[in-house]
Amino acid sequence: MCRNLGIALFVIALAVLFPSAAAQQSGSGASSLAIGARITYANVEDALEDSMGGGTSVDDEFGYGAMVKFPISQRLWLQFAADAFTFTGDLSELDFSISADLETIPLTGTLLLDLVSRNNTIRPYLGAGIGYYLNDFDDITESAFGFIIDLKEYADFDADDGFGWHVCAGLDWFVTDHLAINLEALYRWVEYDWDIIMRPFGLRELGGDLSDSGSDNLDGWAVILGLSLFF
């Protein structure tokens, strides 16, 4: 519910911002708006390091998303994007293993600087920005002696949302006057807090002394491949 509300507010904000931006740029002959879809290959190797324990390995994952951007000067663009990822972490010992999924939706805003003029077919750029990351734990299981236990039956796992920032470099390769392939490399710094509250006998009130809290990070790189339509 929280993440759906966040995405809805994000889309509403875009709907308010971009018509006015397009109106200001119309008549200049330059693109006044770009929208696109993209896939992202991301690394977050420490995303579950403290919550699951040292030695946890987190798989690199593909995510999907969309972006919209508009120009604020001849070389500067303001871009907003929303993506969705599910990162899976595994911790294995001699007689048991734990697996957990962390669902993350980054809502990001990025200032992009074109390094060449807009009449070039290939337009490299640099950028930096901030993001709000919606986080949620899912599918937390323990496997021991052939048995699989759903740990969410016995504890509440909560991953807080968090803020972060990022830098990026990429290019738009125009295959027509209005259609471009987007390639981008990005590195982000993000920290989020988590809480684990045990429920002995199903009673949350009895789990105070058994509960734990801490923080992890979503620091890591990402490679983005997208298709953008310029108006």
Per-residue pLDDT at 200 = 59
Q: What is the pLDDT of residue 1?
A: 46
Q: What is the pLDDT of residue 104?
A: 95
**pLDDT given for residue 61 in this prediction:** 93
Rounded distance between C-alpha atoms, residue 97 and residue 78, angstroms: 44
Q: Which amino acid, residue 122?
A: I
pLDDT of 108 reads 97
How far apart CA 209 and CA 198 sit, in angstroms, is: 9
96-99 long-range CB contacts below 8 Å, 24 or more apart?
Answer: 96/142, 96/143, 96/144, 96/145, 97/142, 97/143, 97/144, 98/52, 98/53, 98/140, 98/141, 98/142, 98/143, 98/151, 99/139, 99/140, 99/141, 99/142, 99/143
pLDDT at position 143 = 76
Q: What is the mean pLDDT of each run of 10 residues along the chain (231 residues)?
A: 50 50 47 92 81 74 96 95 92 75 95 93 97 91 71 78 97 95 97 80 53 85 97 90
Q: According to the model, what pLDDT value does residue 14 have?
A: 53
Could you tell me the CATH number of the domain that includes residue 149?
2.40.160.20
Residue 32's domain comprises: 2-230
Q: How many domains does the chain have?
A: 1
pTM given for the model: 0.80
